[in-house]
Amino acid sequence: MGGIAALAHELGYQVEGSDLNVYPPMSTQLETLGIHLQSGYRPEVLSPAPDCVVVGNALSRGNAAIEWMLNKGLSYTSGPQWLGERVLASRQVLAVAGTHGKTTTSSLLAFLLDAADLEPGFLIGGIPRNFGLSARLGRGATFVVEADEYDTAFFDKRSKFVHYRPHVAILNNLEFEHADIFPNLAAIQRQFHHLVRTIPGNGRLIVNAEDRALAEVLAMGCWTPVETFGIKRGDWRAQLLRDDGSAFAVFRHGQRIGEVQWDLLGRHNVMNALAALAAAQASGVEAVQLLPYCSRFRNVRRRLEDLGERASIRVYDDFAHHPTAIASTLQGLRAKLGPARIVVALEPRSNSMRQGVHADLLAPALAEADVVVFLQRPELAWKAQTVIDALQGHGHSVSSVDALIDALLSHTHTGDHVVFMSNGGFEGAPQRFLAALSDKPRVAAE
């Protein structure tokens, strides 16, 4: 929604917005653009009446602002519908869908197309550091959009991505998520099938060759040429030259086309790179020409973002939302760091995580961590003790961010790497911990 606000501003609209919790980096981006933000959903934010209300999918009937909007008969639409009609209808759309990696892959694809002088537009659910903003119209014919399967709005329960009508679509991976709106994996697969139905026959599908759930989606029906990618199988493949994923060779149809050396870590990011390169090729850019630019790519903020070092302790901020993503990130970091200690501060904040849907997978996902401090807020619907017990003495549970910071100060030593994992604001915990490190003398690990 923040990105859509930025696009509307760029189109010349006067834009204002409200959210329940307004926090950086998106709030900073919008304030820089001169977009007025208000915290809370109050009817007065819609007075005087705007020409159009763009409603985010976090709002439901019973919300005071929504009830005011409906009772006053205001004109309204959803974010995806507004985007599809006002921006995407005249563009060649490249959409990136999947449970994991959408933001990184979208950012990389937009960066590569920009490096090829195509001047793409984009809408991304994060702020790519190469661009410094999450959305722009662009001057070229192409537009890269992060295509989410979450529902559109309280009045439109279709997945967002059916509004985008892409010419090229990446299907990165597919696991069960969003347990608040989907009863099972099959329900999500049905939505992905609806996306596949919208892609023209002269377009292209870029699909993870290693994902069984996506293979089942294609088996429901596919009318578009498909190219696949994977580490060990697929039309696009990679050979890891370093275990941490920071260097790899790229193959297309069995022919080696070059190497990538970059700052990103993990097998998952190698897969993201293959998908982006394949999509760029499908849009008319030779991938071999783009390989050198990968080294210049800077990942989105809050994707294992290095916040700096204080008192010989390095701190990272990661937008974790699912055990698979947690495991992939920590495995990549472990491969880079070797025996150095990794300390994780984890907030289970996504709807599925809060409901405990992935609780049994959390301890295995955290296997590479030496210490885990788990934020179990009082409103969490399940008890974290089973996860703590499964960590066999390496896990600790706290009930507040203040207690979490105190626990981290107690359990960290010189040379440690501390990773904050949450898909929310985390009450500024990473920055608060960095500040606390400056005030507290450290001790070396025994």
What residue spans define the domains of the chain? 2-74, 89-296, 305-439
Strands (E), 121-243: 121-123, 135-136, 142-146, 151-153, 156-159, 168-171, 204-208, 226-230, 236-240
Q: What is the mean pLDDT of the chain?
A: 91
Environment class of 248 (CB within 10 Å of its CB; exposed 0-12, middle 13-18, buried 19+): buried
**pLDDT for res 446:** 47
| Separation of alpha carbons 382 and 353, rounded Å | 10
Share of the chain above pLDDT 90, in %: 67
The 10s digit of each residue's pLDDT in 202-254 is 999 999 999 999 999 999 999 999 999 999 999 999 999 999 899 999 999 99
Q: 10 Å Cβ neighbour count for 392?
A: 8
**pLDDT for res 86:** 96
Q: Is the pLDDT of residue 359 over 80?
A: no
DSSP string, 73-115: T--EEEHHHHHHHHTGGGSEEEEEESSS-HHHHHHHHHHHHHH
CATH number, domain 89-296 = 3.40.1190.10
Q: Which residue has the higher pLDDT, 388 or 68?
A: 68
The topology (CATH level 3) of 305-439 is Protein-Tyrosine Phosphatase; Chain A (3.90.190)
The 10s digit of each residue's pLDDT in 45-59 is 999 999 999 999 989
Among the residues of 309-396, which ranges form H helices? 323-337, 351-355, 359-365, 385-390
The contacts of residue 24 (CB under 8 Å, 6+ apart) are none
**Torsion-angle region of 205 (φ positive above 0: left; ψ -120 to 50: alpha; else: beta):** beta
**pLDDT for res 355:** 64
Pick the CATH number of 2-74 from 3.40.50.720, 2.40.10.10, 3.60.21.10, 3.90.650.10: 3.40.50.720
Residue with tokens 């030259």: 241
pTM of the model: 0.83
pLDDT band at 160 (very low <50, low <70, confident <90, very high): very high
| Separation of alpha carbons 215 and 229, rounded Å | 12
Q: Is the pLDDT of residue 73 over 50?
A: yes
